[in-house]
């Protein structure tokens, strides 16, 4: 156990549990203190708070509070036509919006019986990998920042900005790309995109070299991150853990490999795994996964067909009705399994859209479990290591 390694006693039974399983915390005793971290939390991209009960500098209980970003997207979509849902889905996850576009589009295509052109699949995969790189770059800055290393964030933000330039020239927007829509993608790659992308990828690699030397080979970072936030591989199924958190625990699950979508069956890669299942291991899995995305983008650009349509023929979207049915589409985003459960009822509007974001399980049930017995100063680092994007919890 991680705690044992740090020579601490197991104090999970302290305070006592009541017969119903809740903790017997008597705030008037003076032994405990309630501490709110959030909603502008240092450890989270977005707004979320954690209600901590501390004893000394140690957390005895933590409860996640969300709702600061709730806009009711799933409900809003029930009042919008299938095409009108397309511009709003990306807002469910700001730093990596493209999975929303992809999963929604693929779900609609499946239920509507729409086949998309081959080239559109390649461009979709390209965009998803570009988004993954951006998401990881943001994460690395946050993970280092949670332990006081501000400079890493400055470097990764620079590299991310270059990737945003590529997004801008490809999709016409930097953050909310609104490019993958039911039927395909909006447009082909612009002239000379490959070369500029290659330059960007090289810059990302250079940046990651520096990050590796200063963050991963850093005594301070190791001291804080190694052993922190251990996730038992046995929890993976119980808690619905996916993505780098699962892979950091040695569970080699990657949707790109397990259920290849788009063109992943034509790409050469192996899921990146770790062993120690602590904050350091997860950070390292993500760093290597990022480098794998760099490689995947190179593969995609070299294998992609040069010519071809990028958009299927759509029926008139203003009256588009989809027969009754339901489906679930998933993809492997930077945080784990991202999925859309879409139910249609034969009308021009979705009957129900349910977005499954990996943060839903990671930042709620899992975080509340991991946070016990953690030092207050490590809470931020632990939270970042679960790579939480709150809007996908509350949608």
Residues 255-274 that bind another protein (CB under 8 A): 258-259
Provide the CB-side half-sphere exposure for 68 (13 A, CA): 16
**Residue 176 found at the interface with another protein (CB under 8 A):** yes
Of 49, 100, 277, 361, which one interacts with another protein (CB under 8 A)?
361
Shortest Å, Cβ 203 to another protein: 9
Compare residues 35 and 76 and give the one whose CB is closer to another protein. Answer: 76
Q: Does 347 bind another protein (CB under 8 A)?
A: no
Among 11, 17, 75, 303, binds another protein (CB under 8 A): 75
Nearer to another protein, 31 or 351 (CB): 351
The answer to the question of residue 309 lying near another protein (CB under 8 A) is yes
Site for another protein in 132-171 (CB under 8 A): 151, 158, 165, 168-169, 171
Q: Which of residues 55-74 bind another protein (CB under 8 A)?
A: 66-67, 70, 72, 74
Cβ of 141: how many Cβ atoms within 10 Å? 26
Q: For residues 90 and 181, is the Cβ–Cβ distance under 8 A?
A: no
Q: Give the range of 23-31, 38-46, 281-289, 356-364 binding another protein by CB under 8 A.
A: 356-364
Q: How far is the CB of 356 from another protein (least distance, A)?
A: 5
Q: Considering CB under 8 A, how many residues would be counted as binding another protein?
A: 79
Q: Does 34 bind another protein (CB under 8 A)?
A: no
In the complex, the smallest distance separating the C-beta of residue 30 from another protein, rounded to whole angstroms, is 26
Q: Mask of contacts with another protein, 209-248, x by CB under 8 A?
A: -x--xxx-xxxx-xx-------------xxxx--------
Choose among 66, 93, 83, 363: nearest CA to 229: 363
182 half-sphere exposure, CB direction, 13 A CA radius: 24
Stretch that binds another protein, among 9-17, 264-272, 298-306, 316-324 (CB under 8 A): 316-324
Report how far residue 254's alpha carbon sits from residue 249's, in angstroms, rounded to the nearest whole number: 13
In the bound state with another protein, the residue whose beta carbon lies nearer, of 28 and 316, is 316
Spatial separation of the C-alpha atoms in residues 344 and 353, rounded to whole Å: 9
* Structure tokens, 392: 């996908």
Interface with another protein (CB under 8 A), residue from 327, 349, 372, 375: 327
Interaction between residue 326 and another protein (CB under 8 A)? yes
- 317-350 in b/e form (b: 16+ CB < 10 A) is eeebebeebeeebbbbbbbbbbbbbbbbeeebbb
How far is 219 from 211, CA to CA, in rounded Å? 14
Which CB sits closer to another protein, 8 or 75? 75
17: contact with another protein by CB under 8 A: no
- Please report whether residue 16 would count as binding another protein according to CB under 8 A: no
Beta-strand ranges (E) seen in 256-312 are none
Closest CA to 126 of 239, 273, 250, 295: 295
Cα distances (angstroms) measured from residue 26 to each of 18, 19, 63, 96, 131:
12, 16, 17, 42, 46
Query: Strand, coil or helix: what is 266?
Result: helix
Question: Tokens at residue 261, please?
Answer: 């979508």
């Amino acid at each position: 156990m991680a705690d044992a390694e740090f020579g601490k006693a197991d104090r999970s039974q302290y305070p006592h549990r009541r017969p119903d399983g809740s903790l017997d915390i008597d705030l008037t005793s003076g032994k405990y203190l309630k501490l709110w971290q959030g909603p502008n939390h240092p450890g989270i991209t977005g707004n979320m708070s954690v209600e901590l009960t501390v004893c000394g500098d140690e957390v005895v209980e933590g409860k996640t509070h969300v709702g600061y970003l709730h806009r009711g997207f799933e409900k809003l979509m029930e009042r919008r036509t299938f095409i009108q849902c397309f511009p709003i889905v990306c807002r469910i996850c700001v730093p990596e919006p493209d999975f929303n576009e992809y999963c929604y589009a693929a779900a609609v295509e499946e239920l509507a019986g729409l086949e998309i052109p081959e080239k559109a699949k390649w461009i979709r995969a390209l965009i998803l990998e570009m988004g993954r790189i951006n998401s990881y770059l943001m994460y690395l800055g946050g993970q280092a920042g949670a332990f006081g290393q501000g400079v890493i964030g400055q470097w990764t933000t620079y590299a991310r900005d270059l990737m945003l330039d590529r997004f801008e020239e490809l999709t016409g927007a930097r953050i909310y790309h609104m490019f993958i829509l039911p039927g395909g993608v909006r447009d082909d790659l612009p002239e000379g995109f490959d070369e500029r992308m290659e330059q960007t990828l090289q810059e990302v690699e250079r940046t990651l070299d520096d990050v590796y030397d200063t963050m991963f080979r850093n005594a301070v970072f190791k001291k804080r991150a190694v052993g922190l936030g251990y996730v038992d591989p046995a929890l993976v199924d119980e808690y619905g853990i996916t993505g780098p958190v699962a892979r950091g625990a040695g569970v080699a699950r990657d949707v790109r490999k397990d259920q290849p979508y788009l063109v992943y069956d034509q790409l050469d890669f192996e899921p990146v795994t770790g062993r120690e299942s602590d904050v350091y291991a997860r950070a390292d899995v993500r760093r290597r996964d990022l480098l794998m995305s760099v490689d995947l983008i190179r593969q995609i650009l070299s294998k992609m067909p040069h010519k071809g349509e990028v958009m299927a023929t759509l029926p008139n979207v203003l009256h588009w009705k989809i027969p009754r049915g339901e489906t679930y589409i998933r993809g492997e985003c930077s945080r784990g399994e991202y999925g859309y459960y879409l139910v249609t009822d034969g009308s021009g509007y979705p009957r129900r859209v349910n977005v499954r974001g990996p943060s839903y399980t990671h930042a709620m049930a899992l975080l509340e479990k991991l946070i016990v017995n953690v030092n207050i100063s490590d809470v931020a680092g632990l939270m970042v290591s679960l790579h939480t994007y709150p809007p996908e919890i509350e949608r």
